[in-house]
Amino acid sequence: MKRMSRTRATLAGGVAVAVLGTLAVGVGVAQAGEKDDRRVKTGEREIAALFDRWNAALRSGDPERVTDLYAEDAVLLPTASPRIRTDHAAIADYFAHFLQKKPRGEKIRTEIEILDANSAIDAGLYRFHLTDPKTGVTKPVEARYTYVYEKRDGRWLIVNHHSSVLPAEG
């Protein structure tokens, strides 16, 4: 009978160790998942802030300040031009004209996807408040956007930017 009690005690102790071990592993996995979630959320905030940086550059009125946010090999499919811009000179030319409208952007909806430590996509809808240089009248323009970012030499740059006027519901 004593032998059976020891076996039960040993079995119970083994089960307890197994349960505690499983709980410890589960907590470790949960903590790792929480860290990953926090890292993704931090990354998403960092990418979302890149729009604010871009918008501040627009508000400066300086086309070179805006263009400096684009990689040398960036592609811009702009909102208010049918021409694809594929180098800094062409991108600066676009912004020299666009900035005459004193654009002020605001995001309506954003979807951010962190691809890896050095690349991300921010896509969604934004609204621009554009001022007609001749009349001074400001009007809102809603558009779709996609920014593709790459971190190069430690700095996030736009490598691809597409913006187009939001089509009417159809």
Three-class HEC string of the chain: CHHHHHHHHHHHHHHHHHHHHHHHHHHHHHHHHHHHHHHHHHHHHHHHHHHHHHHHHHHHCCHHHHHCCEEEEEEEECCCCCCCECCHHHHHHHHHHHHHHCCEEEEEEEEEEEEECCEEEEEEEEEEEEECCCCCCEEEEEEEEEEEEEEECCEEEEEEEEEEECCCCC
For residue 168, the model assigns a pLDDT of: 84
Q: Confidence band (pLDDT; 50, 70, 90) for 7?
A: very low
Position 39 scores a pLDDT of: 55
pLDDT, tens digit, for every residue of 28-55? 444 444 545 555 566 899 999 999 999 9
* Mean pLDDT of all residues belonging to the chain: 83
Check pLDDT > 50 for residue 83: yes
Examine the pLDDT at 15 and tell me if it is beyond 60.
no
- Class of the 2-165 domain? alpha beta
Of all residues in the chain, what percent carry a pLDDT higher than 70?
A: 75
For 85-127, write each residue's pLDDT tens digit. 999 999 999 999 999 999 999 999 999 999 999 999 999 999 9
pLDDT recorded at residue 169: 80
Nearest CA to 87 out of 96, 79, 76 is that of: 76
Residue 128: partners with Cβ closer than 8 Å, 6 or more residues away: 79, 103, 104, 105, 140, 141, 142, 143
